[in-house]
Amino acid sequence: MQKMKILIIEDAETVRNELKDFLTAYGYEVEAPDDFQHVLSYATKEDIHLILLDINLPVFDGYFICREIRKSSQVPIIIVTSRNNEMDELMSMNLGADDFVTKPYHTQILLARIDAVLKRAYKQPEALSLTVGELKLHLANGTISYKGGHQELTKNEFKILHYLMVKKGSIVSREELMEHLWSSDLFVDDNTLSVNVTRLRRKIESLGMENPIETRRGLGYILS
C-alpha cells in the first residue's frame, strides 16, 4: 500500500507533536499544522488520506470542522474526544466520521483504529486505481494508462481527473471543480480551469483514447 498521509487537527501543541512523532515512526506521513484558520484547506487537499480530528477545539468546534470537511470530501475522519458520554459517540457517527477514539487511549489502539479505517477506505483491490472505460488512473503515482501506453499527470490534471472519476456519471460544475482545485480565497481566472482541462484531454488523447471528458455547456463537465 502506498504511504499514507495523516492530517492531525489538534490544538494542544505537545499532544500534536507527540502524535506526529509517533505516527511518523510507524511509517505514516503526517501533517500537523498549528493554524486552525486554514485547517480546512489542508483537509481538502488531495494527498491527505485520513484526518485525526480533536473534537475539543478552541474557536471552531470540531463538529463544525467535521461537517465542513464532509461537504467537499469523503476523506476518512477519526474523531478524538475526551468527552466520554454516549451523545458524543452518536453525534460523531452522524457527522460522517468514520470512527472515534476516546481519550485517554492507548497508542496501540489508536494505531489499530487508523489501520482499520484506512483499510476500509482504501482497501478495494483496485482502490489504487480508478477507471473510465479502459483508461486507468493510478492513484499512487499520478499516472494514467490506456492499452499499454501511459502518461504522467501534473497535480492539477490529476485533481481534475480524479474528481471527475469519483463523480463518474454526474455532471460536475466548473464552480465545484474550481473549489476543489484552488482554495476559495485564491482568485484564479475561470479560464484557467478550461486550460487545465484542455491539457488533461491532450494527454488522454495522446494515448489513443477519444476524449472521455464531455462538456455540458452551462452545466459543467461529465465523465462517461
Partner DNA sequence: CTGCAAATTTACCGCTCCTTTACATGCGAG
Partner DNA sequence: CTCGCATGTAAAGGAGCGGTAAATTTGCAG
Q: Which residues bind a second copy (CB under 8 A)?
A: 86, 89-90, 93-94, 98-99, 106, 108-109, 112-113, 115-116, 120, 125, 140-142, 152, 154-155, 158, 168-171, 216-219, 222, 224
Residue closer to a second copy, measured from CB, 34 or 107: 107
> What is the nearest approach in angstroms of DNA to the Cβ of residue 95?
31
Note the Cα 109 to chain centre separation in Å.
24
CB-based contacts of 24: which residues, under 8 Å, 6+ apart?
Answer: 30
> What is the nearest approach in angstroms of a second copy to the Cβ of residue 49?
16
Note the Cα 118 to chain centre separation in Å.
12
* 109 interface partner picked from a second copy, DNA, none, CB below 5 to 8 A per type: a second copy
> What is the nearest approach in angstroms of a second copy to the Cβ of residue 75?
13
Question: In the beta sheet, which residues pair with residue 27?
Answer: none
Residue closer to a second copy, measured from CB, 108 or 191: 108
> What is the nearest approach in angstroms of DNA to the Cβ of residue 201?
6
Which residue type sits at 200? L
Query: Residues 41-48: contacts with CB within 8 Å, 24+ apart?
Result: 41/183, 42/7, 43/7, 43/9, 43/68, 43/69, 43/73, 43/75, 44/69, 44/72, 44/73, 44/75, 44/180, 46/155, 46/158, 46/159, 46/162, 47/5, 48/5, 48/6, 48/7, 48/75
Residue closer to DNA, measured from CB, 35 or 190: 190
36 is written with which cell numbers? 486552525
Residue closer to a second copy, measured from CB, 142 or 212: 142
* 1 interface partner picked from DNA, a second copy, none, CB below 5 to 8 A per type: none
Residue closer to a second copy, measured from CB, 45 or 168: 168
